[in-house]
Structure 1
Amino acid sequence: MKIPLSPPSIDELMMAVTPEMLPRFPLLNLGPLANGQYLHWDELRHRPPPEGLNHKTWWLALRMARSSNAQALPFKDKHGKPFNYSLPEPLLKNLHEIDRGAGLIPSGSKNAALRAEQGRYLMGSLIEEAITSSQLEGASTERRVAETMLREGRKPRTLSERMIFNNFEAMRTSHTLCEDKLEPAHVIELQRVLTQDTLEYPEDCGHLRTRDDIEVVAPNDERLVLHRPPLAREIPERLQKICEFANAPVSEGNFIHPVVRAILLHFMIGYDHPFADGNGRTARTLFYWYMARQGYWLTEYLSISRILRKAPAQYARAYLLTETDAGDTTYFLLYQTRVILDGLAALYDYLEQKQREQTRLSAQLRNLHTRDKQLNHRQTALLSHALKRPDEYFTIESHQRSHQVAYATARSDLLALAAQGLLVETLHGGRKRVFYPAQDLHERLENSTPHQL
């Protein structure tokens, strides 16, 4: 990974332009985009410039167009220069698609299907985000082990399991982060939940950073320093600014799109690094919290970290593009909105896959009854899972957590399946009540007839 090359200074750019060329810039109608993209100088310098321009004059024309539409933000970089952003067409398009796809505008059968079984889908998404967000920070527990831990509610046994468990608890309770206004104490408490019993220096848990020796290094090269955050003494004031930004009414003053505001909260926590550790997890959780607060309920079902984990260098580069181009956060906004859209696409693909599986399984189970009642969707989902993973067991507690139902409801579901011979009840370790899939489960479902197995 390489740090993007910073653009030439204004003085250098102006030296490349003759007095006769400046009046011609508006006539070129270049706008803020280069070939339909919001390119950084590091990329633009490798593209062929428009006729009559060289790379420096082309960049100057783009910079002038961008500056005329840029909006200053209430945040400053570590050198005291304000961050800014603009709304080029690709970003506006992404924001529109997120408005349509993330649940702000209720529409489509997919959203309705998700609403119908939101307990099960929400549990699965929380588990996915907890695991992948922790893996971004170095956790290495096997996925199936981590998933079983979270579904059963057992205590973590290793450092990696503890990271995942903490992430899960933070995500699960993020909607209760604050009742009214976000305060620095809420953010500090969030970091405490995320990092408890996982840090090399326990005193860093639940406390703001006090040292200035923090360096953010490249994902694949610890020798390459990508970022040195602002001084520790500035952190309290900077965190207060972040909270004020989160609390500002959406319609107050200059309108900032809620998704833009959520992404900028993420950006600033990552940039300021208010904690010695856990900044990335804190930033992502605040993003989810703000999106849900603004009515984007579908974001609860997205795993942003799963997308980021596929290409961590691109995530880091989105920060660097901003840092090396006069605090222009448009690069980070474009990247993160694409991540959200990728997450939505993955969610809808997952929904379609689950609906196909449900249809196939329902065909097998349409004649299968339990006490003269057809199996409910929770039992059907459990049997579907059992067919794919016949070596796993289920507990009343894990079924309860997976579907967000009462203990009595979960107990009734499992006992009914055991009564039909689809599950086998036993005691695990002589005490714990568990249910294994019947060894001939597949054959029983294939050969089922009404009221008979």
Structure 2
Amino acid sequence: MEPQILTQMLTDKNTFSFQKLKYKYGKDNFAEYFTLVSDYFYRKIPLKDFSGNHFVYTPAQVQIVSQSLKRLMQNYSGEKYGIKAMEDEITSTLSIENIETKRESVHRILAGQAPVSPSEEKAYGIKKALDFISDPNHKITAENLNKLYRIAINDYLEDDSKLPPKAMYRNDSVYIVNSSGKPVHKGLDHEKLPAYIDDLIRFIDNDCDDIDQVLKSAMIHYYLAYLHPYFDGNGRTARLLQLWYLVQKGYTSALFIPFSLFVNKNKTGYYKSFKLISENQETDNVSDMTPFLYFFTQNVFSQFENYDVGDGITEKFRAVLESGNVTEKEKDLFYFVLSNYGSGEFSTKDLEKDYRNVAYATVRTFVLKFEELGLLKSQKYGGRTKYSIFE
């Protein structure tokens, strides 16, 4: 094959669609291209498809920019997760599945209030799951994955979609259909699920596979959705498992960045990447995970630096802390404001109600002092005053 043609095929906008490459460059060129990619570019992933063949990917096509890794390495506060970020996460992960939930409802759920509708129950399930995965004592095991699924999804399903009481996974076949009702994917044979999930857990536990952990999190996300071990809620569970893996590996800031927000912004591309992998499996008998990983590097990981998590204000606050002019209560209140409101506005009454364990006088003293320190700013609306982070 001429080097020029190889370069064109590797950089073609349809490089992940083998059907389109064959049509554009011809079967002979594609055959040579596929041989070269298989011999020199593909790298095996220790996860198998339904036929027992290893998944592969092309490392050169899924490079993660260092800025994304820097953002994930940061520690934003003493909270277990960012309330504003997880509002975005919950709202978005439900929206991906066409479950519409109001942000106000999600905010109330995260503030500790009980759900009052079916959509709020689904949001409440994700909230409980976030509490579960943010606890470092909850290691990723098959048993804990079952617990995560039950508290996040299973408890809020119709009876015909729920797992049997003691079951780990579904006990029948499941099909994924498109908007027109056509089946586009069949989940793994339910009798094989225990063995395949055990392989996934071993992959998660193995730190010696020399795969970047952030990229590996996307592999884990894809693979659980590919296996489809439950009758419903597989996508939500896969996205939670990705966050859980990163938290377990020390990337606790993953719970301060809403991964699903970025997925939802390009939901079409997200589902297209699943489709491309399935099409390539059917036509060329190769399980290439690159399309999904490429989607994540381009549409999710690369967007982290654009999400406002208050980096600058955090540095400014650290400088104030070093001066010794802040009490422990004020420190906790400021961290709460960062994680609960982000760049949004709040009143003293909002903070008193949401934080709960604080007197109004303490809240009033706090906002006035932190405005003077240049960490908060105020805006009057008639007779009401709203505060927000000074950026």
Q: Identify the TM-score tier after normalising by the shorter chain.
A: 0.7 to 0.9
* 1:70 paired residue number: 42
> How far off its partner does 1:173 sit?
2.1
> How far off its partner does 1:80 sit?
3.2
Q: Find the residue that maps to 1:243 and give its secondary structure.
A: helix
> How far off its partner does 1:312 sit?
2.3
Deviations 1:359-399 (A, max 9, x none): 9xxxxxxxxxxxxx99x746977998999467x95364622
Larger radius of gyration: 1
Using the size of structure 2 for normalisation, the TM-score is 0.77
* Shift in alpha-carbon separation, 1:419–1:35, aligned structure 2, 3 A: closer
Paired amino acid for 1:127: E
> How far off its partner does 1:204 sit?
1.9
Q: Which of 53, 57, 75 does residue 81 from structure 1 map onto?
A: 53
Do 2:217 and 2:242's aligned partners in 1 also have CA atoms closer than 8 Å? Answer: yes
Distance across 2 between alignment mates of 1:310 and 1:256: 27
2:383 counterpart of 1:440: yes
Deviations 1:391-419 (A, max 9, x none): x953646225xxxxxx3xxx04x333458
Matches within 5 A, 1:7-406: 24-25=1-2, 30=7, 33-35=10-12, 38-44=15-21, 54-68=25-39, 69-88=41-60, 90-92=61-63, 94=64, 96-103=66-73, 111=74, 115=76, 117=77, 119=79, 122-151=82-111, 153-176=112-135, 179=138, 182-201=140-159, 203-204=162-163, 207=167, 208-212=169-173, 214-218=174-178, 221-248=179-206, 250-251=207-208, 254-325=209-280, 326-347=286-307, 349=308, 351=310, 377=334, 388=345, 394=350, 396=352, 398-399=354-355
Paired amino acid for 1:40: S
Q: Find the residue that maps to 1:33 and give its secondary structure.
A: helix
> How far off its partner does 1:420 sit?
10
> How far off its partner does 1:127 sit?
2.4
> How far off its partner does 1:176 sit?
3.1
Distance across 1 between alignment mates of 2:62 and 2:48: 22
Do 1:229 and 1:273's aligned partners in 2 also have CA atoms closer than 8 Å? Answer: yes
Do 1:95 and 1:259's aligned partners in 2 also have CA atoms closer than 8 Å? Answer: no
Q: Find the residue that maps to 1:227 and give its secondary structure.
A: strand
Distance across 2 between alignment mates of 1:175 and 1:421: 29
* Shift in alpha-carbon separation, 1:131–1:393, aligned structure 2, 3 A: farther
Deviations 1:122-176 (A, max 9, x none): 122122212221222333232113212322x111111110111110121122033
* Shift in alpha-carbon separation, 1:343–1:190, aligned structure 2, 3 A: farther
Identical residues among aligned pairs (%): 18
> How far off its partner does 1:355 sit?
5.2
* Shift in alpha-carbon separation, 1:247–1:383, aligned structure 2, 3 A: closer
Q: Find the residue that maps to 1:216 and give its secondary structure.
A: strand
Q: Which of 320, 344, 362 does residue 416 from structure 1 map onto?
A: 362
Paired amino acid for 2:172: R
Paired amino acid for 2:202: E
Do 2:273 and 2:291's aligned partners in 1 also have CA atoms closer than 8 Å? Answer: yes
> How far off its partner does 1:438 sit?
9.2
Q: Which has the higher contact order (CA 8 A, sep 6+)?
A: 2
Structure 2: segments with no counterpart, 5+ residues: 281-285, 318-329, 369-379
Distance across 2 between alignment mates of 1:292 and 1:120: 10
Answer with 309-318 or 280-289: which moved more: 309-318
Do 1:169 and 1:193's aligned partners in 2 also have CA atoms closer than 8 Å? Answer: yes
How many pairs are equivalent? Answer: 358
Do 2:48 and 2:55's aligned partners in 1 also have CA atoms closer than 8 Å? Answer: yes
Q: Find the residue that maps to 2:156 and give its secondary structure.
A: coil
Paired amino acid for 2:182: L
Q: Find the residue that maps to 1:226 and give its secondary structure.
A: strand
Structure 1: segments with no counterpart, 5+ residues: 1-23, 48-53, 104-110, 360-372, 401-406, 423-436, 446-453
* 1:17 paired residue number: none
| CA RMSD, Structure 1 to Structure 2 (Å) | 4.0
Distance across 2 between alignment mates of 1:127 and 1:81: 39
* Shift in alpha-carbon separation, 1:274–1:35, aligned structure 2, 3 A: closer
Deviations 1:72-119 (A, max 9, x none): 23332223333212212x412x2644333321xxxxxxx5xx63x453
Distance across 1 between alignment mates of 2:18 and 2:341: 52
Paired amino acid for 1:163: K
> How far off its partner does 1:256 sit?
1.9
Distance across 2 between alignment mates of 1:442 and 1:233: 61
* Shift in alpha-carbon separation, 1:43–1:192, aligned structure 2, 3 A: same
Paired amino acid for 1:200: E
